[in-house]
Structure 1
Amino acid sequence: MPLLAWILLFSLVGSVFSILAAGLFLVLPAGFRERAMPHLISFAVGALLGAAFLALLPDAILHNEVDPHGLMLAALLGLLGFFLLEKFVLWRHCHVGTRHAHAVEGAGTGQIGRSPGILVLFGDALHNFVDGVLIAAAFLTDIGLGIATSLAVAAHEVPQELGDFAVLLGSGRSRLRALLLNILSGSTTLLGAVLAYFALGATEGLLPYVLVVAAASFIYIAVADLIPGLHARFEPRAIVEQIVAIGLGVVVIYWAHGVAH
């Protein structure tokens, strides 16, 4: 299969398919969603950290004739950049934060106004565009790395999209309109992937730096947005469940990265 076809297929997995999965999840009983959400978030933490430390960073460092100090500087600047973007409400990953909690409380009632829904769509479109760039860069390096990166993107997109659905519903959109708007914002993943395929294909020297920025993105999402929400549960059983789900996420990414080599 041509490389561009791989990129387009897994860009769909990381965006539109994740949105559809979140939409399907939303129609399930509320009690089931509440029980399943912590497991999804824990799995996403493992997938993101596994992709960053076991796939993206090693592949970037092993790239021919690349200064590791320059790569680590790019990773550090990436982390700081994502922090600043989130501060300016351009990068909204708050899967388990107050934004999504309040949105769920007002979902379907129109209590939170329409402006937050617009901000969510804008932030998601930008975020999904960048995801497309990262997926394309990973595939241009190695098919196994591309698959692992796409799975990590998909893993954290499902809980994120659930929160975004709640914001859109709370701002007065119908379920169908919220789904269509999320699919529209998710389509920017394909745009980012196609543009990156042609741009990075002509400038191969940039690939390792894009990979470490991708790793920085995954680490930031896992550490700044997802893990704090897991600390809300202190029961021994919950801790064990979190460790198992995180470990499963790591194993899946390790397997996906290795099986295609």
Structure 2
Amino acid sequence: MVLIGDGLHNFADGLALGAAFSLSLSDGLATMLAVALHELPHEIDIFSILLNTGLSIQAALGLNLLSALTALIGFYIGASVSENETAMQWIIAFATGMFLYLSINNMISEMKRFHVDRPWLLLLLQNLGLFLGWAFMLLLALYEDKLHF
């Protein structure tokens, strides 16, 4: 189940990257930076989940690589259909919805799983993480036109 979710997540990454690179190199690079920043911890998390199920390092890496290949399929579809503006809007809406659903689903399940002796400290840290993420997204939205690579 984890690999199916990761494959869908990577597919959405590929869609977003394909559509962004079709617009311009700077849009593609900015999207690539955003995807890379969220993918690194996400893939480490998936890898650790696979290891905790008893898989060997080689098997976990192989399965993780297979689920990552769905990003190439998404990239191809995103790049090929993005010439149509209506299709581009649907691609962006779909990719954004996938990002939000999968991220929020993973975060909430992890937040509920955690139990500590000081629940107020945990609540503070969880909310701090959420607010930092929102602040980072807000800064990206406000200054995206000033990002030049």
* Root-mean-square deviation over aligned CA pairs: 3.3
* Equivalent residue for 2:57, pick from 169, 172, 175: 175
Q: Give the structure-1-normalised TM-score.
A: 0.43
* Alpha-carbon distance in structure 2 between the residues aligned to 1:126 and 1:224: 13
- Distance in 1 (CA, whole Å) between partners of 2:74 and 2:127 is 38
Q: Provide Cα deviations, 1:27-73, integer angstroms capped at 9, x if missing partner.
A: xxxxxxxxxxxxxxxxxxxxxxxxxxxxxxxxxxxxxxxxxxxxxxx
| Runs ≥4 residues deviating over 6 A | none
Contact 1:139-1:146 within 8 A present in 2 as well: yes
TM norm structure 2: 0.67
Name whichever of 181-190 and 158-167 sits farther off.
158-167
The structural deviation recorded for 1:174 is 1.4
1:140-171 Cα distance to aligned partner (Å, 9 max, x none): 23444433433333333333323322332133
Report SS of the residue matched to 1:192: helix
Total equivalences in the alignment = 142
2:135 maps to what in 1?
247
**5+ residue gaps in structure 2?**
none
- Contact 2:12 2:74 survives alignment (8 Å): yes
Is 2:103 the counterpart of 1:217?
no
Structure 1 residue 188, shift from structure 2 partner:
2.1
Query: Are 1:234 and 2:116 counterparts?
Result: no
Matched position secondary structure for 1:210: helix
Alpha-carbon separation, structure 1, partners of 2:85 and 2:26: 18
State the distance in 1 between where 2:140 and 2:14 align.
21
8 A Cα contact 2:11 2:74, kept in partner: yes
1:105-120 map, 5 Å: 119-120=1-2
Conserved in 2, the CA contact under 8 Å of 1:168 and 1:178? yes
Q: 1:255, CA displacement in angstroms?
A: 4.7
TM-superposition CA deviations, 1:110-141 (whole Å, max 9, x none): xxxxxxxxx33343233312321222112223
Higher relative CO (Cα under 8 Å, sequence separation at least 6) belongs to: 1
Assess if the C-alpha contact under 8 Å between 2:15 and 2:95 holds in 1.
Answer: no
Per-residue CA deviations over 1:174-211 (Å, capped at 9, x if unaligned) read: 1233123212321221232123322333x343112211
Structure showing the higher helix proportion among its residues: 2
In the alignment, which of 76, 88, 112 is matched to residue 207 of structure 1? 88
**1:258–1:183 distance in 2 versus 1, CA, 3 Å:** farther
Alignment correspondent of 1:161: 43
Q: How far apart, CA to CA, are the structure 2 residues paired with 1:144 and 1:220? A: 26
Query: What residue number does 1:184 align with?
Result: 66
Identical counterparts, % of pairs: 30
Q: How far 1:239 moved relative to its partner? A: 6.0
